[in-house]
Amino acid sequence: MSYILQSLADQQLKEEVPTLYVGDIVRVHNRIVEGKNERVQVFQGTIIAMKKAGPASSITVRKIGAHGVGVERVFRIHSPRVEKIEVLRHSKVRRAKLYFLRDRVGKKARLKQIRR
């Protein structure tokens, strides 16, 4: 029975997902539905957490919104709602979860850029 479930899970995986790391600055193109209309909304921010669980893999992206308010969203990587994920920049980090960025504002919240 687990073979059947595993084959169904493998069919849900996307092939064009870039390699993502915690600390990357990404641009996530997310499809949202407003009534009858459907459009693509772009959410740009820093990956502060990742969960790797096959088709249920997800990333938590944080950005600073209007008036300095932090906004976090969790995106399922293999969801059909996620159109694409663009990696804009890689950062040097020493932790798996960057929850400390929630308490930092301005220049203290910056991460050092690395080239990969």
Contact between 59 and 47 under an 8 Å Cβ cutoff? The reply is yes
What is the per-residue pLDDT across 37-84, written as a single tens digit (0 to 9) for each? 999 999 999 999 999 988 889 999 999 989 889 999 999 999 999 999
Fold of 2-114: SH3 type barrels. (2.30.30)
Q: Rounded CA gap, 28 and 83, in Å? A: 8
Higher pLDDT residue, 81 or 9?
A: 81
Q: Estimate to the nearest angstrom the gap between the alpha carbon of 14 and the chain centroid.
A: 15
Residue spans per domain, the chain = 2-114
Residue 82 is given by DSSP the state E
* Residue length of the chain: 116
Q: Rounded CA gap, 26 and 41, in Å? A: 13
Give this prediction's pTM.
0.88
pLDDT given at position 16: 85
pLDDT given at position 26: 97
What confidence category does residue 1 fall into, taking pLDDT thresholds of 50, 70 and 90? low
